[in-house]
């Protein structure tokens, strides 16, 4: 057992825990952390300030944080740094405290070291706005620092600002590209080209994106930046999807999944999986869409936070494929929030919403959208899980029958018929003649082997189409 100061410290912590003044928090790696009650924290801070040791203790804490960050990611390749964020995320509050002290005390060099070391924590951990703010403060403290460090900060800022669609994004990318051309390494020039490509892809300018990603790919290969090579290959698959070349998109995305798995990368294969779902939806393959979505792993990496919005859109696309329009609206609406949605996801969501609006009518659409806006993250996960249950597939069998036997127009008429509309009301809703509406109803009854309009309504309810 420990002796001396260590024993005194552990004994003090144990006494505070016994008195319920600190809370023990078991961690997933088997260690235990302790959280102070706010009143205890305030008391300790006051005592520290009056002791005259405040600066020394805060310096030591900042040093511990910087050493821990460097130990977790220093010397690793890009993939290793990305994977290290799981170990660092638990110290997020410590990082905030240390960065604040380094900024207040004017320790520009250590502040710059720390914000650069935390790059992937900001990006994958969902702290983009916070990270962008720290990079700006670091640049203000070292405006004329070494060009390599300054370029690394600009590249990181460009990445974070693009993800949240900050108004300075294009200017930051331009600054980074200019400096990379003048003084950057091969890897830095590749990253500048990569950010230009990402901006073009996410705006739907796929021709520009394709050229820029291929430029970046060559530079990353030259620099042996293999994780970025893999990421470029994945994005070229996304570009092919956006261009409507589904065969090329599928081949590139499947290759990215295999290559990512071989590297031990959990992220690129997951991103590729989501876009393979989009392809299956585009092709109307409900079984394949469902099977792919079931491959989505549990959220056991901090970096999986980045897939939350694309996953919701993919699940919404599956709901659309099943004609479960209310679920689709809820899921698509749940993506509305502080994070910007880019192409091709935004087009997928917009098409699904428009299809749902036409099928549901204004009142039901508005009600579903209202429910989607109120969904908590747990509710959203439950909605997605429900779609992937075997029972949901059984309900969808009726939808599959309707897709197989009925034309697109007949499926639209069936949806309106299920709402109890008359032939005249169906005609008005679809801008067709009453005779045409009546012909569609007769054809639906014949194809589904139903004897009456009432039987058709019962059939849609039984198969989850109403």
Average pLDDT over residues 84-107: 88
Residue 257 in any domain: the answer is no
Instruction: Tell me what pLDDT residue 211 has.
Output: 97
Average confidence (pLDDT) over 271-280:
94
The residue-averaged pLDDT of 442-466 equals: 78
Contact (Cβ atoms closer than 8 angstroms) between residue 43 and residue 28: no
Whether 462 has a pLDDT exceeding 70, the answer reads no
49-73: pLDDT as tens digits? 888 888 899 999 999 999 988 887 6
The pair of structure tokens assigned to 7 is 């024993």
Residue 447 lies in a domain: yes
Between 141 and 434, the more confident residue is 434
Going by C-beta distance under 8 Å and a sequence separation of 6 or more, which residues neighbour residue 109? 142
- How high is the pLDDT of residue 3? 47
Check pLDDT > 70 for residue 144.
Answer: no
Whether the per-residue pLDDT at 217 is higher than 80: the answer is yes
- Whether residues 382 and 434 fall in one domain: no
What's the gap between Cα 102 and its chain centre? Answer: 31
pLDDT at 12: 73
CA–CA separation, 437 vs 293, rounded Å?
A: 37
pLDDT of residue 1: 45
On the 0-12 / 13-18 / 19+ scale of CB atoms within 10 A, 234 is: buried
When pLDDT is averaged across residues 371-386 and rounded to a whole number, the result is: 88
Residue 444's pLDDT band (boundaries 50, 70, 90)? confident
Residue 330 shares a structural domain with residue 417: no
On whether both 110 and 81 belong to a single domain, the answer is yes
State residue 114's pLDDT score.
92
| Residues 158/195, Cβ–Cβ less than 8 Å | yes
Domain boundary among 166, 184, 202: 184
The total domain count for the chain is 4
What mean pLDDT comes out for the span 114-132?
A: 88
Question: At 306, phi and psi to the nearest 5?
Answer: -70, -15
Residues 6+ apart with CB under 8 A from 112: 138, 141, 142, 145, 149, 153
Q: Per-residue pLDDT averaged across 78-90, rounded?
A: 75
Q: What is the pLDDT of residue 29?
A: 66
207 found inside a domain: no
**Alpha carbons 438 and 432: distance in angstroms, whole number:** 10
Last residue of a domain, one of 347, 364, 388: 388
Q: Higher model confidence: residue 197 or residue 1? A: 197
Tell me whether residue 3 is in a domain. yes
For residues 62-89, give the mean pLDDT: 78
Note whether 88 and 135 are same-domain residues: yes
* Residue-level pLDDT at 23: 81
Lowest mean pLDDT among 89-98, 230-239, 276-285, 393-402: 393-402
| Inside any domain, residue 428 | yes
H or E segment at 22? strand 22-26
Instruction: pLDDT band for 80, please (50, 70, 90 cuts).
Output: confident
Question: 303 or 232, which is more confident?
Answer: 232
| pLDDT number for residue 463 | 66
Residue 234 has a pLDDT of 97
Q: Is residue 257 scored above 90 in pLDDT?
A: yes
Q: Please report whether residue 279 resides in a domain.
A: no
The residue-averaged pLDDT of 115-131 equals: 87
Percentage of the chain with pLDDT > 70?
Answer: 88
Between the alpha carbon of residue 243 and those of residues 84, 205, 208, 237, 252, the distances in Å are: 35, 9, 12, 10, 14
313 within some domain: yes
More confident residue, 264 or 257: 257
pTM score? 0.76
Q: Of 12 and 203, which is predicted with more confidence?
A: 203
Same domain, 81 and 153: yes
Question: In this structure, what are the phi and psi dihedrals at residue 90, rounded to the nearest 5 degrees?
Answer: -65, -20
Q: What is the pLDDT of residue 339?
A: 59
Residue 327 — very low, low, confident or very high, per pLDDT cuts 50/70/90?
Answer: very high
The answer to whether residue 219 scores a pLDDT higher than 60 is: yes
Give residue 322's pLDDT: 86
Average pLDDT value for the chain: 85
Distance CA 324, CA 98 (A): 49
Helix residue ranges, H only, 243-307: 246-263, 268-282, 286-294
**With contact defined as beta carbons under 8 Å apart, do 261 and 225 qualify?**
no
Please report, rounded to a whole number, the percentage of residues in the chain having pLDDT higher than 90: 43
| Same domain? 71 vs 167 | yes
Q: What is the mean pLDDT of residues 382-391?
A: 84
In our burial notation (b when 16+ CB lie closer than 10 A, e otherwise), range 339-354 reads: bebbbbbeebbeebbe
Q: Which of 172, 261, 186, 246 is nearest to 220 (CA)?
A: 186
75 pLDDT band (50/70/90 cuts)?
A: low
Same domain for 180 and 67:
yes
Which of 77-91, 247-261, 397-411 is least confident? 397-411
Residues 67 and 21 in one domain: no
Are residues 341 and 427 both part of a single domain?
no
- The answer to whether residues 104 and 15 belong to one domain is no
Among 184, 205, 221, identify where a domain stops: 184
| CATH number, residue 433 | 1.10.10.10
CA atoms of 234 and 249, how far apart (whole Å) = 9
> Are 95 and 163 in a shared domain?
yes
83 within a domain of the structure (yes/no): yes
| Domain, as residue range, for 347 | 285-388
Contacts of 157 (CB under 8 A, 6+ apart): 132, 135, 136, 139, 172, 176
For residue 195, is pLDDT > 90?
yes
pLDDT at 180 over 90: yes
**Arithmetic mean of pLDDT, 414-421:** 88
What confidence score (pLDDT) does residue 30 get? 73
pLDDT at 2 > cutoff 50: no
Task: Mean pLDDT check: name the lowest of 59-63, 168-172, 214-218, 405-409.
Answer: 405-409
Provide the pLDDT confidence category of residue 301 given band limits of 50, 70 and 90.
Answer: low
What does the alpha-carbon distance between residue 331 and residue 353 come to, in Å, rounded to a whole number?
A: 10
How sure is the predictor about 336, in pLDDT bands with cuts at 50, 70 and 90?
Answer: low
- Tell me, yes or no, whether 378 and 439 share the same domain: no
- Concatenated DSSP letters of 310-340: HHHHHHHHHHHHTT-HHHHHHHHHTT-SSSP
């Amino acid at each position: 057992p420990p002796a001396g100061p260590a024993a005194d410290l552990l004994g003090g912590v144990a006494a505070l825990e016994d008195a319920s003044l600190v809370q023990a928090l078991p961690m997933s790696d088997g260690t235990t952390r302790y959280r102070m009650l706010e009143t205890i924290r305030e008391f300790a801070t006051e005592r520290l300030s009056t002791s005259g040791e405040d600066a020394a203790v805060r310096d030591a804490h900042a040093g511990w944080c910087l050493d821990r960050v460097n130990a977790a990611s220093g010397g690793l390749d890009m993939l290793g740094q990305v994977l290290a964020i799981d170990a660092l995320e638990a110290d997020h509050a410590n990082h905030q405290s240390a960065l604040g002290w380094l900024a207040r005390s004017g320790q520009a060099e250590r502040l710059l070291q720390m914000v650069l070391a935390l790059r992937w924590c900001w990006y994958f951990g969902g702290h983009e706005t916070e990270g962008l703010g720290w990079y700006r403060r670091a640049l203000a403290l070292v405006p004329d620092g070494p060009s390599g460090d300054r370029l690394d900060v600009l590249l990181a800022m460009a990445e974070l600002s693009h993800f949240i669609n900050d108004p300075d994004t294009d200017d930051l990318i331009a600054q980074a590209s200019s400096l990379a051309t003048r003084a950057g390494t091969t890897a830095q020039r590749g990253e500048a080209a990569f950010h230009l490509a990402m901006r073009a892809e996410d705006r739907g300018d796929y021709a520009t994106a394709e050229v820029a990603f291929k430029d970046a790919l060559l530079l990353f290969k030259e620099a042996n930046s293999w994780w970025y090579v893999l990421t470029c290959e994945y994005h070229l698959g996304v570009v092919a999807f956006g261009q409507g070349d589904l065969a090329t998109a599928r081949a590139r995305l499947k290759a990215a999944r295999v290559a990512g798995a071989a590297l031990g990368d959990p992220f690129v294969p997951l991103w590729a999986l989501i876009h393979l779902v989009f392809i299956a939806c585009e092709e109307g393959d409900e079984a394949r869409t469902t099977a792919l979505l079931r491959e989505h792993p549990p959220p056991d990496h901090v970096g999986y936070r980045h897939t939350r919005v694309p996953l919701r859109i993919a699940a919404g696309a599956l709901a659309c494929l099943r004609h479960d329009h209310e679920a689709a609206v809820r899921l698509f609406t749940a993506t509305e929030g502080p994070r910007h949605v880019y192409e091709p996801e935004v087009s997928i969501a917009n098409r699904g919403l428009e299809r749902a609006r036409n099928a549901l009518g204004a009142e039901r659409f508005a009600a579903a959208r209202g429910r989607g806006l109120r969904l908590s993250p747990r509710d959203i996960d439950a909605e997605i899980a429900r779609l992937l249950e075997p029972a949901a597939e059984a309900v969808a069998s009726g939808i599959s029958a309707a897709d197989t036997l009925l034309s697109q127009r007949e499926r639209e008429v069936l949806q309106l018929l299920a709402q109890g509309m008359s032939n005249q009301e169906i005609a008005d809703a679809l801008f067709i003649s009453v005779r045409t509406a009546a012909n569609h109803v007769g054809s639906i009854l014949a194809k589904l082997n139903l004897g009456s309009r009432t039987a058709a309504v019962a059939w849609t309810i039984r198969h989850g189409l109403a």
